[in-house]
Structure 1
């Protein structure tokens, strides 16, 4: 990956996921706790990430999606849609996909990736949606990865 993105994991994702991203994939990942963001609002985190221009927030919280849709990127977002699950299961689903998701977000016209994880362990394939800016202020269109 030519661009070196910083991955900021939201408080709703365990710091162990950031550790595994570093240890197993050599990604530049940081948990909300190591960044001391655990007591900040989503808007404050957005404001802190915006000036650097190279932050991808990974969250299970829809508020970041709404902020980036309304106020624009950077930062970019991987929005994980999954119910409660243990860290090992979450990592087993994210690990095979994370580098491709980062690569897709490296495209200038993609700001948000919705990563839909189905807790049905019989279905090994997650679903994706990619959000691209469209003409007009603060409007976006979605396209499913299955359509690509």
Structure 2
């Protein structure tokens, strides 16, 4: 599973989630810090990446254009990096199902304390 973490998320997520998502990258390491959302969207599409973001704009782009790329939208408020990492790990099976579905374009992850 190749994830692209948006710049509103910590670059540390790439290392924290390496065992579950080994080919992931961060917008910053891809040289796109401060880039418009549509450029990040195109980069993800061109490289077979799934965008992970707290930014509502990517959710809207998903509705507008559909996949690819796919979008994982984190509805987590001000949750810290470790909580986000635990949430993604706790839902890895559901994420795999989402990524395997050709018609699914948006996966919403919310915090449920009993799950993380």
Structural RMSD (CA)? 1.8
Structure 2 segments unaligned to the other structure (5+ residues): none
For residue 73 of structure 2, what is the aligned residue in structure 1?
A: 79
Higher Cα radius of gyration: 1
Structure 1 segments unaligned to the other structure (5+ residues): 127-148
**Equivalent position SS for 1:102:** helix
Q: 1:11 aligns with which of 4, 7, 13?
A: 7
TM-score (norm 2): 0.87
Map residues 40-79 of structure 1 onto 2, 5 A cutoff: 40-52=35-47, 54-79=48-73
TM-score (norm 1): 0.70
Q: Distance between the aligned counterparts of 1:55 and 1:25, measured in 2?
A: 15
For residue 115 of structure 2, what is the aligned residue in structure 1?
A: 125
Q: Is the 8 A contact 2:20 2:92 kept in 1?
A: no
CA-to-partner distance for each residue in 1:96-141, whole Å, 9 max, x for gaps? 21343133222112111011114xxxx4138xxxxxxxxxxxxxxx
Larger strand percent: 1
For residue 36 of structure 1, what is the aligned residue in structure 2?
A: 31
Higher relative contact order (CA 8 A, sep 6+): 2
